Protein backbone atom coordinates (compact mmCIF):
# COMPACT_ATOMS: atom_id res chain seq x y z
CA UNK A 1 0.00 0.00 0.00
CA UNK A 2 1.38 3.41 -0.91
CA UNK A 3 1.27 6.14 1.68
CA UNK A 4 -1.35 8.80 1.12
CA UNK A 5 -0.18 12.42 0.79
CA UNK A 6 -1.31 12.99 4.38
CA UNK A 7 0.69 10.01 5.64
CA UNK A 8 3.80 11.22 3.85
CA UNK A 9 3.79 14.51 5.71
CA UNK A 10 6.66 14.86 8.14
CA UNK A 11 8.30 11.53 7.35
CA UNK A 12 11.38 10.64 5.36
CA UNK A 13 8.99 9.58 2.59
CA UNK A 14 8.34 13.30 2.08
CA UNK A 15 12.00 13.94 1.43
CA UNK A 16 12.25 11.04 -0.99
CA UNK A 17 9.26 12.19 -3.02
CA UNK A 18 9.73 15.97 -2.89
CA UNK A 19 13.50 16.30 -3.10
CA UNK A 20 13.85 18.14 0.20
CA UNK A 21 16.87 17.34 2.34
CA UNK A 22 16.43 14.21 4.38
CA UNK A 23 16.56 15.05 8.07
CA UNK A 24 17.65 12.46 10.59
CA UNK A 25 15.12 11.06 12.97
CA UNK A 26 14.85 12.11 16.57
CA UNK A 27 15.05 9.03 18.80
CA UNK A 28 14.02 8.83 22.43
CA UNK A 29 16.90 7.14 24.25
CA UNK A 30 16.55 6.47 27.99
CA UNK A 31 15.53 9.92 29.22
CA UNK A 32 15.71 12.33 26.27
CA UNK A 33 15.47 12.88 22.55
CA UNK A 34 18.71 12.51 20.60
CA UNK A 35 19.69 12.68 16.95
CA UNK A 36 19.50 9.40 15.07
CA UNK A 37 23.30 9.17 14.81
CA UNK A 38 23.61 9.45 18.59
CA UNK A 39 21.00 6.75 19.30
CA UNK A 40 23.35 3.87 20.04
CA UNK A 41 23.03 0.69 22.08
CA UNK A 42 26.02 -1.15 23.58
CA UNK A 43 27.08 -4.45 22.00
CA UNK A 44 26.95 -5.81 25.56
CA UNK A 45 23.25 -5.02 25.94
CA UNK A 46 21.39 -8.27 26.63
CA UNK A 47 18.65 -7.13 24.30
CA UNK A 48 21.15 -7.54 21.47
CA UNK A 49 23.08 -10.49 22.86
CA UNK A 50 20.10 -12.62 23.88
CA UNK A 51 16.90 -10.97 22.67
CA UNK A 52 16.21 -10.14 26.31
CA UNK A 53 13.65 -7.38 26.24
CA UNK A 54 10.13 -6.42 25.21
CA UNK A 55 8.62 -4.10 22.64
CA UNK A 56 5.44 -2.65 21.21
CA UNK A 57 4.61 -1.67 17.63
CA UNK A 58 2.09 1.17 17.61
CA UNK A 59 0.32 2.95 14.74
CA UNK A 60 -0.30 6.65 14.27
CA UNK A 61 -3.40 7.77 12.37
CA UNK A 62 -4.09 11.43 11.59
CA UNK A 63 -1.48 12.41 14.16
CA UNK A 64 -3.27 10.37 16.86
CA UNK A 65 -1.46 7.48 18.52
CA UNK A 66 -3.67 4.40 18.20
CA UNK A 67 -4.70 2.55 21.39
CA UNK A 68 -1.68 3.91 23.26
CA UNK A 69 -2.96 3.02 26.73
CA UNK A 70 -3.55 -0.60 25.68
CA UNK A 71 -0.06 -0.86 24.21
CA UNK A 72 1.56 0.59 27.33
CA UNK A 73 -0.42 -1.81 29.54
CA UNK A 74 0.72 -4.79 27.45
CA UNK A 75 4.33 -3.62 27.52
CA UNK A 76 4.39 -3.46 31.32
CA UNK A 77 2.72 -6.86 31.58
CA UNK A 78 5.27 -8.39 29.18
CA UNK A 79 8.10 -6.82 31.19
CA UNK A 80 6.66 -8.05 34.48
CA UNK A 81 6.36 -11.59 33.14
CA UNK A 82 10.10 -11.73 32.36
CA UNK A 83 11.11 -9.80 35.51
CA UNK A 84 12.32 -6.80 33.53
CA UNK A 85 12.11 -3.47 35.34
CA UNK A 86 10.91 -0.65 33.09
CA UNK A 87 12.93 2.42 34.19
CA UNK A 88 10.02 4.82 33.61
CA UNK A 89 6.52 4.98 35.00
CA UNK A 90 3.49 4.84 32.71
CA UNK A 91 3.03 8.61 32.47
CA UNK A 92 6.70 9.14 31.67
CA UNK A 93 6.63 6.44 29.00
CA UNK A 94 3.47 7.83 27.41
CA UNK A 95 5.06 11.28 27.39
CA UNK A 96 8.22 9.91 25.74
CA UNK A 97 6.16 8.23 23.00
CA UNK A 98 4.19 11.40 22.33
CA UNK A 99 7.27 13.63 22.28
CA UNK A 100 9.07 11.31 19.87
CA UNK A 101 6.07 11.24 17.55
CA UNK A 102 5.75 15.02 17.62
CA UNK A 103 9.50 15.59 17.15
CA UNK A 104 9.40 13.58 13.92
CA UNK A 105 6.12 15.13 12.71
CA UNK A 106 4.60 11.71 12.21
CA UNK A 107 1.02 12.12 11.04
CA UNK A 108 0.50 8.62 9.70
CA UNK A 109 3.13 6.08 10.62
CA UNK A 110 4.57 3.65 13.12
CA UNK A 111 6.16 3.75 16.57
CA UNK A 112 8.55 1.12 17.90
CA UNK A 113 8.83 1.23 21.70
CA UNK A 114 11.57 -1.02 23.09
CA UNK A 115 12.82 -1.90 26.57
CA UNK A 116 16.04 -3.93 26.76
CA UNK A 117 17.59 -5.64 29.77
CA UNK A 118 20.61 -3.34 29.52
CA UNK A 119 24.37 -3.77 29.56
CA UNK A 120 25.62 -7.01 31.09
CA UNK A 121 28.26 -9.68 30.68
CA UNK A 122 28.76 -12.46 28.14
CA UNK A 123 26.56 -14.78 30.14
CA UNK A 124 22.85 -15.48 30.53
CA UNK A 125 22.46 -14.02 34.04
CA UNK A 126 20.07 -11.07 33.58
CA UNK A 127 20.63 -9.76 37.08
CA UNK A 128 24.13 -8.52 36.27
CA UNK A 129 22.51 -5.92 34.03
CA UNK A 130 22.38 -2.81 36.16
CA UNK A 131 19.99 -0.63 34.19
CA UNK A 132 17.40 -1.48 31.57
CA UNK A 133 17.25 0.75 28.49
CA UNK A 134 14.32 2.40 26.71
CA UNK A 135 14.22 3.71 23.18
CA UNK A 136 11.41 4.96 20.98
CA UNK A 137 11.44 5.27 17.19
CA UNK A 138 8.67 7.04 15.25
CA UNK A 139 8.75 6.92 11.46
CA UNK A 140 6.75 5.77 8.46
CA UNK A 141 5.72 2.17 7.96
CA UNK A 142 5.95 -0.48 5.27
CA UNK A 143 2.47 -1.73 4.52
CA UNK A 144 0.99 -4.45 2.34
CA UNK A 145 0.18 -3.37 -1.24
CA UNK A 146 -3.36 -2.06 -1.73
CA UNK A 147 -3.96 -4.93 -4.15
CA UNK A 148 -3.79 -7.40 -1.25
CA UNK A 149 -6.67 -5.63 0.48
CA UNK A 150 -8.78 -5.53 -2.67
CA UNK A 151 -8.08 -9.07 -3.93
CA UNK A 152 -6.87 -10.85 -0.81
CA UNK A 153 -3.59 -12.59 -0.11
CA UNK A 154 -2.23 -16.12 -0.30
CA UNK A 155 -0.60 -17.87 2.66
CA UNK A 156 0.94 -21.23 3.49
CA UNK A 157 1.11 -23.42 6.55
CA UNK A 158 4.52 -23.19 8.21
CA UNK A 159 6.41 -26.31 9.23
CA UNK A 160 8.03 -24.23 11.99
CA UNK A 161 6.06 -24.98 15.16
CA UNK A 162 5.01 -22.09 17.38
CA UNK A 163 6.97 -21.80 20.62
CA UNK A 164 5.50 -23.96 23.37
CA UNK A 165 3.48 -21.71 25.72
CA UNK A 166 5.37 -23.14 28.70
CA UNK A 167 8.67 -22.18 27.04
CA UNK A 168 7.66 -18.60 26.31
CA UNK A 169 4.16 -17.31 27.13
CA UNK A 170 2.53 -16.03 23.92
CA UNK A 171 1.31 -12.94 25.79
CA UNK A 172 4.91 -11.74 26.12
CA UNK A 173 5.86 -9.55 23.16
CA UNK A 174 9.58 -10.17 23.45
CA UNK A 175 12.54 -9.12 21.34
CA UNK A 176 13.20 -12.78 20.51
CA UNK A 177 11.27 -13.21 17.25
CA UNK A 178 13.37 -15.97 15.70
CA UNK A 179 10.47 -18.43 15.84
CA UNK A 180 8.34 -16.07 13.74
CA UNK A 181 11.23 -15.18 11.44
CA UNK A 182 11.82 -18.82 10.53
CA UNK A 183 8.15 -19.16 9.60
CA UNK A 184 8.36 -15.90 7.63
CA UNK A 185 11.29 -17.32 5.65
CA UNK A 186 9.12 -20.30 4.72
CA UNK A 187 6.45 -17.93 3.39
CA UNK A 188 8.93 -15.91 1.35
CA UNK A 189 10.51 -19.09 -0.04
CA UNK A 190 7.04 -19.97 -1.33
CA UNK A 191 6.44 -16.50 -2.84
CA UNK A 192 3.68 -15.58 -0.40
CA UNK A 193 3.80 -12.81 2.24
CA UNK A 194 2.60 -14.80 5.26
CA UNK A 195 2.51 -18.25 6.79
CA UNK A 196 0.25 -19.73 9.45
CA UNK A 197 1.93 -21.20 12.51
CA UNK A 198 0.55 -24.17 14.46
CA UNK A 199 1.30 -25.13 18.03
CA UNK A 200 2.75 -28.38 19.33
CA UNK A 201 -0.74 -29.94 19.38
CA UNK A 202 -1.45 -29.02 15.77
CA UNK A 203 -3.84 -26.16 16.53
CA UNK A 204 -3.64 -22.79 14.80
CA UNK A 205 -1.61 -20.27 16.78
CA UNK A 206 -1.12 -17.17 14.64
CA UNK A 207 0.55 -15.87 11.50
CA UNK A 208 4.14 -14.65 11.72
CA UNK A 209 3.03 -11.14 12.63
CA UNK A 210 -0.76 -11.22 12.71
CA UNK A 211 -3.70 -12.84 14.46
CA UNK A 212 -5.94 -15.32 12.63
CA UNK A 213 -9.72 -15.18 12.14
CA UNK A 214 -12.02 -17.37 10.08
CA UNK A 215 -15.74 -17.24 9.32
CA UNK A 216 -17.88 -20.38 9.06
CA UNK A 217 -21.68 -20.31 8.66
CA UNK A 218 -21.81 -16.66 9.69
CA UNK A 219 -19.84 -17.12 12.93
CA UNK A 220 -16.34 -15.66 13.41
CA UNK A 221 -13.73 -17.85 15.09
CA UNK A 222 -10.26 -16.98 16.36
CA UNK A 223 -7.68 -19.05 18.26
CA UNK A 224 -7.49 -18.44 22.02
CA UNK A 225 -4.33 -16.90 23.43
CA UNK A 226 -3.38 -20.17 25.11
CA UNK A 227 -3.04 -21.78 21.66
CA UNK A 228 0.05 -19.63 21.12
CA UNK A 229 -1.40 -16.39 19.80
CA UNK A 230 -0.27 -12.95 20.88
CA UNK A 231 -3.13 -11.07 22.52
CA UNK A 232 -3.17 -8.52 19.72
CA UNK A 233 -4.34 -4.95 20.22
CA UNK A 234 -5.87 -4.85 16.74
CA UNK A 235 -7.42 -8.27 17.42
CA UNK A 236 -9.18 -6.87 20.49
CA UNK A 237 -10.45 -3.84 18.56
CA UNK A 238 -11.81 -6.03 15.76
CA UNK A 239 -13.61 -8.27 18.27
CA UNK A 240 -15.25 -5.17 19.79
CA UNK A 241 -16.22 -3.84 16.37
CA UNK A 242 -17.72 -7.20 15.42
CA UNK A 243 -19.85 -7.17 18.58
CA UNK A 244 -21.12 -3.69 17.68
CA UNK A 245 -22.27 -5.16 14.34
CA UNK A 246 -24.01 -8.04 16.16
CA UNK A 247 -21.51 -10.52 14.76
CA UNK A 248 -20.71 -13.48 16.99
CA UNK A 249 -17.02 -14.08 17.74
CA UNK A 250 -15.92 -17.31 19.41
CA UNK A 251 -12.43 -18.09 20.67
CA UNK A 252 -11.82 -21.75 19.87
CA UNK A 253 -9.00 -24.07 18.93
CA UNK A 254 -8.80 -24.29 15.14
CA UNK A 255 -7.19 -26.98 13.01
CA UNK A 256 -5.67 -26.83 9.55
CA UNK A 257 -8.87 -28.47 8.31
CA UNK A 258 -10.89 -25.55 9.70
CA UNK A 259 -8.80 -23.14 7.67
CA UNK A 260 -9.17 -25.23 4.52
CA UNK A 261 -12.98 -25.36 4.64
CA UNK A 262 -13.90 -21.96 6.11
CA UNK A 263 -16.07 -19.45 4.25
CA UNK A 264 -13.77 -16.49 4.99
CA UNK A 265 -10.30 -16.05 6.39
CA UNK A 266 -8.65 -12.81 7.52
CA UNK A 267 -5.68 -11.59 9.52
CA UNK A 268 -5.40 -8.64 11.90
CA UNK A 269 -2.35 -6.76 13.10
CA UNK A 270 -0.78 -3.38 13.69
CA UNK A 271 0.59 -3.13 10.16
CA UNK A 272 -1.90 -5.41 8.41
CA UNK A 273 -5.00 -3.89 10.06
CA UNK A 274 -7.67 -6.23 8.61
CA UNK A 275 -6.66 -8.16 5.49
CA UNK A 276 -8.40 -11.03 3.73
CA UNK A 277 -6.80 -14.37 2.94
CA UNK A 278 -8.09 -16.05 -0.21
CA UNK A 279 -5.84 -19.09 -0.47
CA UNK A 280 -3.92 -21.35 1.91
CA UNK A 281 -1.69 -24.23 0.82
CA UNK A 282 -3.25 -24.09 -2.64
CA UNK A 283 -6.83 -24.32 -1.29
CA UNK A 284 -9.08 -21.44 -2.35
CA UNK A 285 -11.09 -19.84 0.46
CA UNK A 286 -14.76 -19.21 -0.34
CA UNK A 287 -15.15 -17.70 -3.78
CA UNK A 288 -11.52 -16.59 -3.91
CA UNK A 289 -12.26 -13.01 -2.83
CA UNK A 290 -12.33 -11.27 0.57
CA UNK A 291 -15.75 -12.09 2.02
CA UNK A 292 -18.51 -9.81 3.37
CA UNK A 293 -17.49 -10.10 7.04
CA UNK A 294 -13.89 -9.29 6.14
CA UNK A 295 -14.87 -6.28 4.05
CA UNK A 296 -17.25 -4.99 6.72
CA UNK A 297 -14.72 -5.30 9.54
CA UNK A 298 -11.99 -3.69 7.44
CA UNK A 299 -14.33 -0.77 6.75
CA UNK A 300 -15.32 -0.43 10.41
CA UNK A 301 -11.70 -0.67 11.53
CA UNK A 302 -10.67 2.05 9.07
CA UNK A 303 -13.44 4.32 10.33
CA UNK A 304 -12.48 3.66 13.95
CA UNK A 305 -8.74 4.15 13.43
CA UNK A 306 -9.07 7.29 11.34
CA UNK A 307 -11.77 8.96 13.41
CA UNK A 308 -10.85 12.48 14.39
CA UNK A 309 -10.76 13.27 18.09
CA UNK A 310 -13.79 15.29 19.13
Residue 119 has pLDDT above 50, yes or no: yes
Higher pLDDT, 5 or 68: 68
Is the C-alpha dihedral spanning 14, 19, 22, 23 positive or negative?
Answer: negative
265 Cβ contact list (under 8 Å, min separation 6) = 212, 213, 214, 215, 259, 276, 277, 278, 280, 285, 286, 294
Annotation: CATH topology of 146-305: D-amino Acid Aminotransferase; Chain A, domain 2 (3.20.10)
Residue 5 has pLDDT above 80, yes or no: no
Write down the mean pLDDT value for the chain.
92
Convert the pLDDT of each residue in 191-241 to its tens digit: 999 999 999 999 999 999 999 999 999 999 999 999 999 999 999 999 999
> String of b and e for 249-263 (b: at least 16 CB within 10 Å)?
beeeebebebbeebb
Rounded CA separation 112/67 (Å): 14
What's the pLDDT score for residue 13?
Answer: 46
Residue 159 has pLDDT above 90, yes or no: yes
Work out the average pLDDT over 81-97: 97
Residue 122 binned pLDDT confidence (cut-offs 50, 70, 90):
very high
Helix (H) or strand (E) holding 85: none
Residue 128 has pLDDT above 60, yes or no: yes
Q: Tell which CATH classification among 3.30.56.10, 3.30.470.10, 3.40.50.2300, 3.40.50.300 matches the domain 5-139.
A: 3.30.470.10
Residue 23 binned pLDDT confidence (cut-offs 50, 70, 90):
low
Determine whether 308 is an active site residue.
no
CATH 3.30.470.10 in the chain: give the residue spans.
5-139
Rounded CA separation 213/195 (Å): 14
Rounded CA separation 135/34 (Å): 10
Among candidate residues 8, 26, 173, 300, the one labeled active-site is 173
CATH 3.20.10.10 in the chain: give the residue spans.
146-305
Single out the residue of 96, 130, 110 nearest to residue 269, CA to CA: 110
The DSSP 8-state label assigned to residue 183 in this structure reads H
Amino acid sequence: MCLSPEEKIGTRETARTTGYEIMGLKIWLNDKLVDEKEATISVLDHGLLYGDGVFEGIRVYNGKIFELEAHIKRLYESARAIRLAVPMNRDQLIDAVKKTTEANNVVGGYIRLVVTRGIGTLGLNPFVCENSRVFVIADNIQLYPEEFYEKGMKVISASTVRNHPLALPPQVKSLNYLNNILAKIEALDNDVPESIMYNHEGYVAEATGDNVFIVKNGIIYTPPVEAGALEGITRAVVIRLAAQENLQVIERNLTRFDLYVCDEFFLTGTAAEVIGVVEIDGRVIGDGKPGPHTRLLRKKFYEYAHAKEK
